[in-house]
Structure 1
Amino acid sequence: MTSEVAVIAGAGSGLSASLAKLLTREGFRVVLAARDIVKLSPLIAETGAEAIAADVSDPASVDNLFSAVDKVGPLSLAVFNASSRVRGSIADLDPESVKKALLVGAFGGFLVGQQAACRMLARGSGSILFTGATGSVKGFASSAGFAMPKFGLRGLAQSMARELAPKNIHVAHFVIDGGIASADPGRTSTADSPDRWLSPDAIAEAYLAVHRQHRSAWTSELELRPWVENF
């Protein structure tokens, strides 16, 4: 068991919940960050995690979040799982909505990554993990509002990995290439398509495995997809 401290920015159901539960079972002290922490009440009750209301696109809010994390203990793992999806043809996209998506998905990743890096540099170790998507590597039609922040987040992760790896800080980007299973209608596996959706628990296991990798064989980017997904 461990007494490591982890923060999950952009926490909610699905992957974030699976990760919080796994880390708690493994002995981590977990801090969950979200705009609306009321929705996290069941997860908090189950895991004992601390929840902090935070807007990842706001520097002051992110600073307050990490000040709260400092009170829990030295940070060893930071997961950025926040995003804002905007769909529509390029002619019809609302500029303000696209701006928000960029601020949350790319600028937010920078703010969280910066705060985490500062603490891990002082400590001399740690992992910073960024959640990407198919849109991180492919810009589909009518998805510019999603591809732009995801491409930006991937570039951030690559740059940080090259800068921080020599300083014993592991930075990795995850391409979640497919839909994640949930309780929502149409998001559950069926007998005739058991592998249609990625299991959030399985993804969480991959995140923890990357965090625990030996430094001589660090992963900088990991693609996760069900075999039925086209790529």
Structure 2
Amino acid sequence: MAGSFDGKVVFITGAANGQGKAAALAFAREGAWVAGFDLGSKPAYPAYVTEASEALARVQREIAAEGGAFLPLTGDVRREDDVRAAIERTVEAFGGLDIVFGNAGIAAYGLAHELSEDEWDAVLDINLKGNWLVAKHAIPHLKARGSGVILFNSSIAGLRGLNRLSHYSASKFGLVGLAKSLAIELAPDNIRVVTVHPTGVNTPMNDGLAAMEGATPEEIAERSAGNLLPVPWIEPEDVAEAVLFLASEKSRFVTGSGFVLDAGLLTR
């Protein structure tokens, strides 16, 4: 496979399904060597999240069938040893690291005063701490390359509050602060840091939220979003296209900012 990312090494979290999988496929089709990191065991919360080893294997087979390279890696983004090992394995396999897409995340509904401490911690630890750990261990390798890009998958919930999603919104707002701070720290090393802010996306997480609520995925998308354009959600491939654009030389002067992909939601 050949394309605009020939020879680039990309590390993606939450790569087994949804937006992470779509990004992995898109980068591989453009010639990148891709490492995909996802859960090696089922977490306690939320209930819809599953272990991802077989899903990662499917991504590997799909990319290999198209002539691309994909390294499946399992672990937990909340565990520093897991993150460190996954990034080191990526560098050993592909010879370096150029692009990071911090995509792993969970969401579940609950009024702020009714959430348990464990529920709050799970969302903040996966969505925010996990991205910090990935950045922490990726940065030395990006510096060694003399340039790089870190992309964090935030959300429209990182730009506005959402009902019954206080822990999710807090984590996604936190990613914005993390990205802006890293952009300042890493600019001298020619490393860019950007957040991506999709509206509701047609992914297994959307299906899982719907099942927990006894609703349809379309109802969940409309309840949590309310897009201006007449669509209940966008597709994972839409996010992947944005990620590739932001990681490319076409966006070489974009850093410390957020790319909004909201179907007009925030215009309401």
Q: Same fold (TM over 0.5)?
A: yes
How many residues align? The count is 227
Distance 1:170 1:6 in 2: 14
Distance 1:109 1:91 in 2: 26
Percent identity between matched residues is 28
Matched residue, 2:54? 38
The Cα of 1:194 is off from its aligned counterpart by 6.3
RMSD: 2.3
Q: What SS does the aligned partner of 2:163 have?
A: coil
From 5, 9, 14, the equivalent of 1:5 is: 9
Distance 1:73 1:194, change over 3 A: farther
Distance 1:38 1:215 in 2: 34
Matched residue, 1:196? 232
Distance 1:110 1:216 in 2: 23
Distance 1:66 1:14 in 2: 21
Matched residue, 1:22? 26
Distance 2:172 2:33 in 1: 28
List alignment gaps of at least 5 residues for structure 2. Answer: 40-51, 65-69, 208-215, 219-228
Q: Which is richer in helix?
A: 2
Distance 1:22 1:105, change over 3 A: same
Matched residue, 1:100? 122
Establish whether residue 147 from structure 1 lines up as the match of residue 169 from structure 2: yes
Matched residue, 1:221? 258
Distance 1:155 1:228, change over 3 A: closer
Matched residue, 1:190? none
List alignment gaps of at least 5 residues for structure 1. Answer: 188-192
1:28-79 Cα deviation digits (max 9, x unpaired)? 0110000122222221100131101121011111111111111122101110
Establish whether residue 56 from structure 1 lines up as the match of residue 77 from structure 2: yes
Is residue 57–residue 104 contact of structure 1 (8 Å, CA) maintained in 2?
Answer: yes
1:120-152 Cα deviation digits (max 9, x unpaired)? 112211110000012112122322121121111
Letter in 1 for 2:89: A
Distance 1:84 1:200, change over 3 A: closer
Q: What SS does the aligned partner of 1:75 have?
A: coil
Distance 1:91 1:195, change over 3 A: closer
From 145, 150, 159, the equivalent of 1:123 is: 145
TM-score normalised by the chain length of structure 2: 0.78
Establish whether residue 135 from structure 1 lines up as the match of residue 185 from structure 2: no
Distance 1:29 1:101 in 2: 29
Is residue 13–residue 102 contact of structure 2 (8 Å, CA) maintained in 1?
Answer: yes
Q: What SS does the aligned partner of 2:169 have?
A: helix
Distance 1:216 1:75 in 2: 17
Distance 1:171 1:118 in 2: 15
